[in-house]
Amino acid sequence: MRKTLVRFWSTDPGLSVLLWGLVVILFVIRPLADVRIAGRAVIETGFALVLLAGVWTVWSRRRQAVILTAVIVLAEIVRWLSGQMPAAGLAPWEALANAVPIGILVLLVLSRVFHAGPITRQRIEGAIAVYLLVALMWSEIYQFIEAMNPGSFQFPSGSAGLSDRFSPLLYFSFITLTTLGYGDIVPVAPAARSLAMVEALIGQLYPAILIARLVSMEIASKGGQRG
C-alpha cells in the first residue's frame, strides 16, 4: 500500500490532486467560511492536507520532502502558539511561517513540472497549481506586512479584519496577480506597494515564460522520440 501511494504521488497524477485540492480550499471551502457554513478549523485542516499532498508529490526526493515537512511542522507550531497566546504578538510570524512552506512547495512543484519528458495534462495542472500557490504565498506576505505595520493597506469600510489567513488580502493577492486591479483594497505603505508591483510582474511574466518553456520541452521531446 505504501509503495503504491509513493508511486502515485511521485508521478504526474499527484500534481492533479494537488491542484484540485487547492481549488477546493480556495474557491469552495473559503467562501463557505465567509457565510459561516465552514469554520476556521475546517479551512486549516484542508490547507494542512493540501500541504501534505505537496509533501507526497515530492516524496521521491527524500531530502526536499523532509525539509518541507519540517518547515510545515514549524509553521503549525507557530500557528498553534499564536492561537493560544493572542497577546504575544505572534501574528506577523504566523503569516511568515505560513509563507515559507508554500514558497518551498512552489519551487519543488516547478521542478516536477519542468523535468525532462513529454508534457502531460497533469504537468500543466501542476503549473496551474504553482500559479495558485504564488497567490496564496503572496497573501501571507501581505498579512505579514499588515501585521507588522497596521495601515499598510487601505480596506473598504465595513470589511472583515485580518482575523485569519483567508482575509481580504487573499482576494487582493489574486486581483493583483491577474492585474485586474479593482481598487477596493489599496496598498499605501512603500513595502506593500513594492510587493504588489512584484506580484503583478510575476502574474504577467509567469504565463508567458511557462508557455514558452512547455512548448520548447514538448518540441524537444517529440524530436527525441523521432531520433
The Cβ of residue 33 has, within 10 Å, a number of other Cβ atoms equal to 16
Please report the pLDDT score of residue 175 as a whole number.
Answer: 94
Cell of 46: 484542508
Give the integer Cα–Cα distance in Å for 166 and 160. 10
Q: How many structural domains is the chain composed of?
A: 1
Q: What is the pLDDT of residue 165?
A: 46
Q: What angle do CA 86, 159, 27 make, to 5 degrees?
A: 90
Lookup: cell for 24: 477546493
Cell 499605501, residue? Answer: 188
Q: What are the CA-CA distances from residue 84 to residues 43, 54, 81, 152, 191 (Å)?
A: 18, 27, 5, 26, 29
Q: What pLDDT sits at residue 162?
A: 46
For the whole model, what pTM was predicted?
Answer: 0.82
What pLDDT was estimated at residue 5?
45
Positive/negative CA dihedral, 67, 24, 27, 127:
positive
Angle in degrees, 0-180, between the axes of helices 62-84 and 40-57, rounded to the nearest 10: 170
For residue 1, the model assigns a pLDDT of: 43
The three-state DSSP-derived secondary structure of 70-139 is HHHHHHHHHHHHHHHCHHHCCHHHHHHHHHHHHHHHHHHHHHHHCCCCCCCHHHHHHHHHHHHHHHHHHH
- Per the structure, the complete domain to which residue 116 belongs is given by 2-226
C-alpha cell at 68: 518541507
In this prediction, residue 127 carries a pLDDT of 92
- What is the spatial distance between Cα 107 and Cα 120, in angstroms, rounded to a whole number? 19
CATH number at residue 147: 1.10.287.70
- Could you tell me the mean pLDDT of each successive run of 10 residues in the chain, 227 residues long? 49 79 82 62 68 65 72 77 69 82 85 80 90 93 91 77 63 93 90 96 93 84 62
